[in-house]
Chains A and B, each alone.
Chain A
């Protein structure tokens, strides 16, 4: 499968820990500092006025990073916009890593004073390409096969589940949950470079 436009989303442990607009100056500060490598950082957009919308978006050439309040859960989606290297099976792994790095950057940001922690044992993988990977069983199975290989590398021997919302109009969204609590740092350490 040639699916390139994939999103990965991790969630905050406590959705009330940080107000969404606190991320505006943080994302702005990342641009001159080039905090995210391999990405051309362009601008920050505030959509906090849109109910359960994309929240605060850091626009880069390769992807959009956001902090959003969708479903009343504070989350960080990384939405890929341009092709990435590697086989289809490798892509989710690369993107999980990139997203975790952004999570860590936020956790470590001095402006947040340690208030923010991300849950490592749950994430979403979203196909942002309805033509190549619509929300159907076949797409779910194909992507699940790739995930099944990646997850043990990420989470060791923890049990995990893969579920999806079957609403055909929504994008294919696979929820990955593991049994044990995980921290962002330990997940990153478990990832190959």
Chain B
């Protein structure tokens, strides 16, 4: 680790002296978890105008269009979420000294620190290395943090504890030569069982579910191995690579998959460079053959299996003896906390206590105090979770009331873990360059509102999961939420209005079993009412024992949309300007942080009308998908994209006929080839969705293919909105 940090520090110095190419340095720093942050490449809208901060570093950059002095984000890897109290102490210290004193738990069990200066990153890394934490390969086109169930080893339903396997694979692949030439990131997850959600295996590039079988009368451990899953703008379910991969083959097969990805994966077109596209290109059968061929020629590596020798000795020695919780008088609030935050382990007398973190955040002070608590009650048995919380495992149940009081004293005794109030949100517009609407702002508001009413709610609603992403990239994992949201924007009478697309019926259990589908965009200020309406409707109309996913499928998106249609209406600015600001932000909403422009007059109305029509058609496509009318759904999704494209083309060629060939050709010439359609982050990615569908014709008549097309069409239409607004030169200004 020390050598890696020294190398990075040298690279940093060379970049500062302009002796290292900025692109190479950008990849180098990403591979150390040194990320960019909002405003690091340009303007910030400050409510009166958009202007770029005048950093002292002048033209010096830390990557293409990324100003040297601009604050950045440091991602810190925590393999399988496993922490020790000593690590917690150092994390607390570095957050205080190099950041603003806040640690953020991510949806991949990492920590993130924000507003970190690039020159502070080497000493920060050294401090972390002193307690065995690395930031190496936390970002970049490499194997990212390996995640695993936070209750691995203590879960009733698990086949076996996946922790040593997750640890071994994480260590094996870190810096591995066969994993250094990927076109895109690669995410791995482990789960101890198939039915729960904790591991989220099927939405990962590589996922492993623990399984056992008998071989020659002996019980053999292995993994149901999946490959090619991913969320992103368009989610993909992973494909089954092997129903039983022996434990001895886990590391070599992962290596072989890495080599195949490096060799055959897309490198130029970033939008198609995840392994899911490679698997789709070959089909899983052919992909498997290629990997197995690669496996045959791998030079032997003793590390593939040497860790297995240590497994018999692997185990946990609890800090305290397991004792039942005694009946008696408990502290105020304990019952509520116990009901939601305590999970009885399979080991008698022990529980897992969840520390629910608001928006995944805790302060340095809290972290330090939590480290003391951990030492007192559970020793080294702490994990972060993908729901942005921290769990204390092997907690003797007899000590729970005292633990609760200790947590409460430092503001970490909130109940509601894993319930509807425990909302997952990505950093969004707070710090992320890609954020469109404020995911954290909305999460704060919802959390407060739902907490006030949570215990009056029907139990079926209490345990729903809400997840929020600030944009289409699904870092908040909105696709697998019962109720998901992702940020977008609409233009109303010359103003930009923050919205969230509603995604219902995603499945957290069964390892991210299925993805939700969008039912419509609602202005952000109306989202709390959306939550109320949908949950009330569910309670009133569900059948006995019917879970939310089944309910959504049964009712259908048309009826659900009808429940919230009126909430999509936006009052004029003069009537209610609050709609024109985002949650928790006094500045009027703008995409000026992502782009610039000036406001003009009312000529938007025809285009808006046409775009609304395109969205209506897309919604109808979703309904046909639900009814398994795949061909019709495909046609309508395509038609919706053509309609949206026509709305745009009409801005330059008013008389463009309603002929798809002409519309698409005009779109390509006027908007795609000129890059007028491109935005900073997605570039032309969404434009390609239309071009590809037009060129290749109808997609396969399967649910999966049509579902994907519909997702792509939604993104295309959103991108048309954005492009249109940019063309009109919209800038927020008070009338």
CB contacts under 8 Å to B, within A4-57, are 5, 24-25, 28-29, 31-32, 40-43, 45-47, 49-54, 57
Bound complex: CA A47 to CA B358 (Å): 10
Please report the total number of A residues contacting B with Cβ < 8 Å.
35
Q: Is B363 an interface residue (CB 8 A)?
A: yes
Q: Is B457 an interface residue (CB 8 A)?
A: no
CB contacts under 8 Å to A, within B370-397, are none
Quick one: which of B46, B362, B430 contacts A28, CB cutoff 8 A?
Answer: B46
| Stretch in contact with the other chain, from B52-60, B309-317, B701-709 | B52-60
Quick one: which of B48, B100, B123, B363 contacts A52, CB cutoff 8 A?
Answer: B363
Contact A50 B361 (CB under 8 A): yes
Query: Nearest residue in A to B94 (C-beta to C-beta)?
Result: A130
CB contacts under 8 Å to B, within A131-185, are 131, 169-171
Query: Nearest residue in B to A21 (C-beta to C-beta)?
Result: B584
Bound complex: CA A171 to CA B101 (Å): 12
Contact A45 B100 (CB under 8 A): yes
Contact A54 B97 (CB under 8 A): no
Contact with B along A54-75 (1 / 0, CB 8 A): 1001010100101000100000
Bound complex: CA A64 to CA B410 (Å): 24
Given contacts A42-B39, A45-B430, contact A53 B101 (CB under 8 A): yes
Contact B44 A49 (CB under 8 A): no
Contact B49 A50 (CB under 8 A): no
Chain A residues in 8 Å Cβ range of B693: none
Contact A40 B56 (CB under 8 A): yes
Contact B96 A42 (CB under 8 A): no
Quick one: which of B53, B55, B410, B586 contacts A51, CB cutoff 8 A?
Answer: B410
Contact A28 B361 (CB under 8 A): no
Contact B71 A40 (CB under 8 A): no
Chain B residues in 8 Å Cβ range of A52: 363, 365-366, 411
Contact B54 A40 (CB under 8 A): yes
Q: Is B212 an interface residue (CB 8 A)?
A: no
Contact B47 A129 (CB under 8 A): no
Shortest C-beta distance, B480 to chain A (Å), equals 24
Query: Nearest residue in A to B372 (C-beta to C-beta)?
Result: A169
CB contacts under 8 Å to A, within B317-375, are 358-359, 361-363, 365-366, 368
Given contacts A50-B361, A53-B363, contact A32 B46 (CB under 8 A): yes
Q: Is B533 an interface residue (CB 8 A)?
A: no
Contact A24 B586 (CB under 8 A): yes
Contact B46 A31 (CB under 8 A): yes
Given contacts A42-B53, A53-B102, contact A169 B89 (CB under 8 A): yes
Given contacts A28-B46, A32-B46, contact A49 B101 (CB under 8 A): no
Bound complex: CA A128 to CA B96 (Å): 7
Of the four ranges (under 10, 10 to 19, 20 to 34, 35 or more), the interface on chain B belongs to 35 or more
Shortest C-beta distance, A187 to chain B (Å), equals 26
Quick one: which of A29, A66, A130 contacts B97, CB cutoff 8 A?
Answer: A130
Shortest C-beta distance, A109 to chain B (Å), equals 14
Chain B residues in 8 Å Cβ range of A49: 358-359, 361, 444, 447
Bound complex: CA A72 to CA B365 (Å): 14
Given contacts A25-B586, A53-B102, contact A61 B96 (CB under 8 A): no
Contact A50 B366 (CB under 8 A): yes
Q: Is A81 an interface residue (CB 8 A)?
A: yes
Q: Is B412 an interface residue (CB 8 A)?
A: yes
Given contacts A32-B48, A49-B361, contact A5 B368 (CB under 8 A): no
Shortest C-beta distance, A102 to chain B (Å), equals 16
Contact B584 A46 (CB under 8 A): yes
Contact with A along B245-272 (1 / 0, CB 8 A): 0000000000000000000000000000
CB contacts under 8 Å to B, within A82-100, are 82
30 chain-A/chain-B pairs, Cβ below 8 angstroms: A24-B584, A28-B46, A28-B586, A40-B55, A42-B53, A43-B38, A43-B44, A45-B430, A45-B431, A47-B102, A49-B358, A50-B358, A50-B411, A51-B366, A51-B410, A52-B363, A53-B362, A53-B365, A53-B366, A54-B102, A61-B55, A61-B56, A70-B365, A81-B117, A128-B96, A128-B97, A130-B93, A130-B97, A131-B123, A169-B368
Report A's interface with B, CB cutoff 8 A. Answer: 5, 24-25, 28-29, 31-32, 40-43, 45-47, 49-54, 57, 59, 61, 64, 66, 70, 81-82, 128-131, 169-171
